Amino acid sequence: MEKNIFNEYLSDINIEITDKQYEQLMTYYNLLINWNSKINLTSITEKESVFIKHFYDSLSINKIIDLNKVETLCDIGTGAGFPGIVIKIVFPNIHITLVDSLTKRIKFLEDVKEQLNLENLDIINSRAEVYAKDTREKYDVVTSRAVAKLNVLLELSFALVKENGYFIAMKSTNAEEEIKNSLNAIKKLDAKIDSTKNILLPKINEPRTLIKFIKLKKTPKHYPREFKQISKNPL
């Protein structure tokens, strides 16, 4: 995908990338494809599809929060680096932490960091609930894309968010139903839905939903629980 076409799409989410950022995204794409032949990172490999379904989708978070005003962001269950790496490329001033439990993916992310010379990017090899136990109330924004159901995501991530900070869930389907099933988690974690945004991915018109929660109080210390408890008895 050419830079000018991608920038036309990005204008809908108030973003315009530079030549350098476009080249970094192209390098990232090539690394993704090369590593994908060795480990399973994504089923989406065609360039235009990656730019729309991964890169644009990752940056769509700017539609619900002004990323220019964010200082620290944590992406839990980052996988191949979506949305965290893409946000880092386009908003280099944000100090970003990527959390993933699979060592093979961590090695890929470290290669991307080195090849793109990305600074203020921390890559953590850990389960989200384990990392959250010792890293509480640290980030302005915590986000997650297509990792788990909303009530599970809230418990995994909310301890990481600063008071009056935000957790942003990036969802593709069933957002209203997931919100309805998360009312107990929202109450117990002292969360509040700040806003929601429905968007369509450009050209292909696939729907996405962004849900932004604000953290009203410090998270009780017994959250998050161990993952076995969370999965067996979600809030």
pLDDT tens by residue, 73-89:
999 999 999 999 999 99
pLDDT at residue 225, rounded to an integer? 95
- 147 pLDDT band, cuts 50/70/90, is confident
**What's the CA gap between 176 and 209, in Å, rounded?**
9
Q: What is the mean pLDDT of residues 9-13?
A: 97
* Average of per-residue pLDDT across 34-56: 96
- Give percent of the chain above pLDDT 70: 100
Q: Domains, the chain, ranges and CATH?
A: 3-232 (3.40.50.150)
DSSP-H helix ranges across 91-234: 103-116, 128-134, 150-157, 175-180, 183-188, 227-232
- How much of the chain is in helix, strand and coil states, percent to nearest 5? 45, 25, 30
Residue 10 in this model has a pLDDT that exceeds 90: yes
Mean pLDDT of 216-226: 95
pLDDT average, residue stretch 162-170: 97
Mean pLDDT, the chain, rounded, equals: 96
User: Is-contact 60 22, C-beta < 8 A?
Assistant: no
Q: What is the mean pLDDT of residues 23-29?
A: 98
Q: For residue 172, what pLDDT is reported?
A: 85
- In the chain, what percentage of residues exceed pLDDT 90? 96
Check whether the bond before 224 is cis (ω within 30° of 0): yes
Confidence class of residue 116 from pLDDT cuts 50, 70 and 90? Answer: very high
pLDDT of 174 higher than 90: no
Q: Which two tokens stand for residue 76?
A: 């839990």
Q: Give the model's pLDDT for residue 148.
A: 85
